[in-house]
């Protein structure tokens, strides 16, 4: 059994940087990765999807260039070339991450699957076929999550797609049915509609992106339907059947009524589950919740002293930036003797549909539930000069403010460059800048950011 100071299981957006920093701090460190360095973000998530989103945006712009005086008679979408560009970018990012680990002194990279064998002991089934056993006082679990696939009659027999497999397609689906009307499903649904597929989205709840305020959900639906994406809400899938010619028949239940639709491909986008089961956590005493997420305290330590969980394998928001922030908190606490906590940290996020949907802080519905005093500032992009000039006025921005302190409590931006605009409001919140200060701030003209003046104009007494 080989002794280390620290073991990291999973080379994702928390594990990789943490391993390097611990090794650079003088700790003998091992990092174990069963697949590829970089985690979901680099290999299956942010990097490849946003690369493909860029291609879909270009197709949309070509198809809608007429109103701006540019006539494009025809264009074609080459999915093989889009995939190659995506693969090249992914491989470059992955290789860069791996080289950074390999050149770090005091750090050993092992490719294989890890599981606990006892108190802070880890067995690695190496991809080469051999086994190794490791031990350390500090262990960090960064194994992430994977797509959740529900048990539905016939689903396993149709060759369904998940968020990883769909990016391996080289031919554009004739009719793609997306099961799940939230962030992942809508990004892919809009993407493949722009590539030329007929797209249908099936959502079991009463509306798309149901975690958002109702007005946000309604506007997202309007945007999707404007691109001829069919939306089924209050609908569940009860049966799948693939016929000899390859066509798939889906049986739906919509408010108690049965309906059948036919398609060529099915994307399952109904959530993700933690990759914790194969770790044999019971052998080391680490607790998980009823869904398999590893429970942690406000410093990301599990119930077993010296064992930490970072990123999507623990409960809470499953975003790359949260995983990376987990690493910075753990490292600074352990090596720099700081007393940082995940409690009350900002949790921004962006859905990379076009236009983007970005959010920070509390929503209007959350403010109502909490019974707090608030005001709403709202501005359609149809009233934003830059949006008008660029020919894209879809969506609106919305902020929740405290009428007494004039501080911003939360904001949602559904519109062009929504994530960038949201981030300005996030920084204002972090710096205790009031909406009144933003209202009278001098912004360069004509930026999208300048519209923040007018967003808060309506709050004047």
**What is the secondary structure of 397-436 as a DSSP string?**
EEEEE-TTT-BEEEEEEEETTHHHHHHHHHHHHHTT-BHH
Of the candidate CATH numbers 3.10.180.10, 3.40.50.300, 3.50.50.60, 1.10.150.20, the domain formed by 155-270 belongs to: 3.50.50.60
Task: Tokens for 386, please give them.
Answer: 């830059």
Over its C-alpha atoms, the chain yields an Rg (Å, rounded) of: 24
Sheet with 265-268, edge to edge strand ranges: 230-232, 198-202, 175-179, 265-268
More confident of the two residues 377 and 245: 377
- How far apart CA 79 and CA 167 sit, in angstroms, is 10
Q: pLDDT per residue over 342-372, tens digit each?
A: 999 999 999 999 999 999 999 999 999 999 9
**Whether 359 is catalytic:** no
List, as one string, the DSSP characters of 244-255.
Answer: TTS-EEEEEEET
Report residue 459's pLDDT band, with 50, 70 and 90 as the boundaries.
confident
308 Cβ contact list (under 8 Å, min separation 6): 138, 139, 140, 141, 296, 300, 301, 302, 330
pLDDT by residue (tens digit) across 132-165?
999 999 999 999 999 999 999 999 999 999 999 9
CATH topology agreement for domains 2-146+273-335 and 355-459: no
Distance of CA 340 to the CA centre of its chain: 24
Cα–Cα distance measured from residue 9 to residue 3, given in angstroms and rounded to the nearest whole number: 15
- In angstroms, the first-to-last Cα distance of the chain is 71
CB within 8 Å of 420: residues ≥ 6 apart: 448, 449
For 98, phi and psi rounded to 5 degrees?
Answer: -65, -40
- What does the alpha-carbon distance between residue 418 and residue 360 come to, in Å, rounded to a whole number? 11
**Over the stretch 39-81, which tens digit does the pLDDT of each residue have?**
999 999 999 999 999 999 999 999 999 999 999 999 999 999 9
The pLDDT tens digits for 213-223 are 999 999 999 99
What rounded mean pLDDT belongs to the chain? 96
Tokens representing 345? 């940290």
Residue among 265, 359, 383, 445 flagged as catalytic: 445
pLDDT > 80? residue 226: yes
The Cα–Cα gap between 384 and 399 comes to: 16
What is the residue-wise DSSP string for 289-331?
A: -TTSPBP--TTSB-SSTTEEE-GGGSSS---HHHHHHHHHHHH
CB contact at 8 A, 350 and 418: yes
Topology of domain 355-459, CATH: Enolase-like; domain 1 (3.30.390)
Ranges of each domain in the chain: 2-146+273-335, 155-270, 355-459
Average of pLDDT values for 285-289? 96
Examine the pLDDT at 460 and tell me if it is beyond 80. no
Between 244 and 347, whose confidence is greater?
Answer: 347
Angle formed by the axes of helices 320-335 and 15-24, nearest 10°: 20
Confidence (pLDDT) at 461: 57
Q: Are the C-beta atoms of 185 and 200 separated by less than 8 Å?
A: no
Is 170 a residue whose pLDDT tops 60? yes
Q: What's the pLDDT at 458?
A: 82
Fold adopted by 2-146+273-335? FAD/NAD(P)-binding domain (3.50.50)
244, pLDDT greater than 90: no
Q: Tell me the C-alpha distance between 47 and 121, whole Å.
A: 34
pLDDT in tens, 390-411: 999 999 999 999 999 999 999 9
Tokens encoding 384: 């934003």
**Statement: residue 176 has pLDDT above 80:** yes
Write out the DSSP string of 130-192.
Answer: -EEEEEEEEEEE---EEE-----BTGGGTT-B-TTGGGG--S--SEEEEE--SHHHHHHHHHH
Token reading at 191: 């993407």
CA distance 379 to 396: 6
DSSP string covering 79-103: HHHHHHHHHHHHHHHHHHHHHHHHT
Question: Distance between alpha carbon 62 and the CA centroid of its chain, in Å?
Answer: 27
């Amino acid at each position: 059994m080989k002794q280390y100071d620290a073991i990291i299981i999973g080379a994702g957006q928390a594990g990789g940087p943490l391993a390097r920093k611990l090794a650079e701090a003088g700790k003998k460190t091992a990092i174990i990765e069963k697949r590829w360095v970089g985690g979901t973000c680099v290999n299956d998530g942010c990097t490849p999807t946003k690369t493909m989103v860029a291609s879909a945006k270009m197709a949309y712009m070509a198809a809608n260039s007429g109103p701006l005086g540019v006539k494009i008679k025809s264009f074609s979408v080459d999915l093989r070339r889009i995939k190659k560009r995506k693969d090249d970018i992914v491989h470059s990012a992955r290789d860069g991450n791996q080289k950074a680990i390999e050149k770090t002194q005091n750090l050993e990279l092992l490719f294989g699957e890890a599981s606990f064998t006892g108190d802070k002991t880890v067995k690695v089934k190496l991809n080469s076929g051999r086994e190794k056993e490791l031990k350390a006082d500090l262990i960090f679990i960064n194994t992430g999550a994977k797509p959740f696939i529900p048990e539905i009659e016939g689903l396993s027999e149709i060759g369904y797609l998940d968020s990883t497999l769909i990016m391996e397609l080289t031919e554009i689906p004739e009719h793609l049915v997306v099961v799940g009307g939230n962030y992942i499903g809508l990004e892919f649904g809009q993407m493949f509609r722009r590539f030329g597929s007929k797209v249908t989205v099936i959502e079991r709840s009463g509306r798309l992106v149901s975690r958002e305020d109702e007005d946000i959900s309604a506007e997202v639906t309007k945007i999707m339907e404007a691109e001829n994406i069919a939306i089924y809400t209050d609908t569940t899938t009860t049966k799948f059947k693939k016929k000899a010619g390859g066509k798939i028949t889906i049986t739906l239940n919509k408010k108690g009524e049965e309906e059948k639709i036919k398609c060529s491909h099915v994307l399952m986008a109904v959530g993700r589950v933690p990759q914790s089961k194969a770790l044999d956590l019971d052998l080391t005493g680490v607790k998980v919740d009823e869904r398999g997420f590893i429970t942690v305290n406000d410093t990301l330590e599990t119930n077993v002293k010296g064992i930490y969980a970072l990123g999507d394998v623990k409960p809470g928001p499953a975003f790359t930036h949260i995983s990376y922030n987990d690493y910075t908190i753990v490292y600074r606490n352990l090596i720099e003797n700081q007393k940082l906590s995940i409690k009350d940290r900002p949790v921004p996020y962006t859905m990379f549909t076009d236009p983007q949907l970005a959010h920070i802080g509390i929503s209007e519905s959350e403010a109502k539930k909490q019974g707090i005093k608030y005001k709403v500032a709202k501005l359609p992009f149809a009233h934003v000069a830059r949006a008008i000039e660029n020919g894209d006025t879809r969506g609106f921005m919305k902020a929740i403010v405290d009428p007494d302190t004039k501080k911003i409590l939360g904001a949602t931006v559904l519109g062009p460059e929504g994530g960038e605009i949201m981030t300005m409001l996030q920084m204002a919140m972090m710096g205790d800048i009031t909406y009144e200060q933003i209202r009278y701030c001098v912004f360069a003209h004509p930026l999208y950011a300048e519209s923040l003046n007018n967003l808060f104009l309506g709050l004047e007494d």
